[in-house]
Amino acid sequence: MKAKVFLLVCLFIGMATVSIPAQDKANNADQSWKMSSFWSPVVCDGQLVDILSGGEITVHTVFKTFKNGSILAKEIIQIKGTVESESGEVFKIKEFDKWIKTDRWVGYWTYNLIGDQGSHYIGTLYLDYGTGMITVGKTVCN
């Protein structure tokens, strides 16, 4: 359930962004840079420990479609910036998302949150859009 909330965070990022055009690459990949705010719960050992919101993040997206083969599309997203927690701690966020479409979209993302008061959260998540199943990978909370 908490992982589904995290998915909604990613969707909010997509809806709340303003595109800044970028130059297309020769490999037929579309790129964009976007500025946005961020919202996410922080879950450690199955427990909600904090909520991050606001801030300013930069989202860089590279999207490529394929005409042949088993992979139909691929999207790489990099997120960087700062965001504040409910406790007042300010976090630097770095997130890397990779989405692959075969017969359905499957996503894998890693995140690294470093707080100015000593908190540090690192983790991975997996999402299969076909089944709606979200799997929380390894998470380290300090």
- Say how far apart CA 84 and CA 56 lie, in whole Å: 10
Block residue for tokens 């380290």: 140
| Parallel/antiparallel/unpaired status of strands 18-21 and 120-128 | unpaired
- Say how far apart CA 139 and CA 121 lie, in whole Å: 7
Specify the pLDDT at position 133.
87
Degrees (nearest 5) of the Cα angle 116, 119, 120? 105
The model's pLDDT over 91-121, given as tens digits with 9 standing for 90+, comes to 999 999 999 998 899 999 899 999 999 999 9
Q: Is the pLDDT of residue 32 over 80?
A: yes
The model's pLDDT over 60-102, given as tens digits with 9 standing for 90+, comes to 999 998 877 777 899 999 999 999 998 899 999 999 999 999 8
Q: Is the pLDDT of residue 35 over 70?
A: yes
pTM reported for the whole predicted model: 0.71
Q: Which residues have C-beta within 8 Å of that of residue 69, sequence separation ≥ 6?
A: none
> Which CA distances in Å does 75 have to 69, 96, 140?
16, 11, 26
Specify the pLDDT at position 19.
43
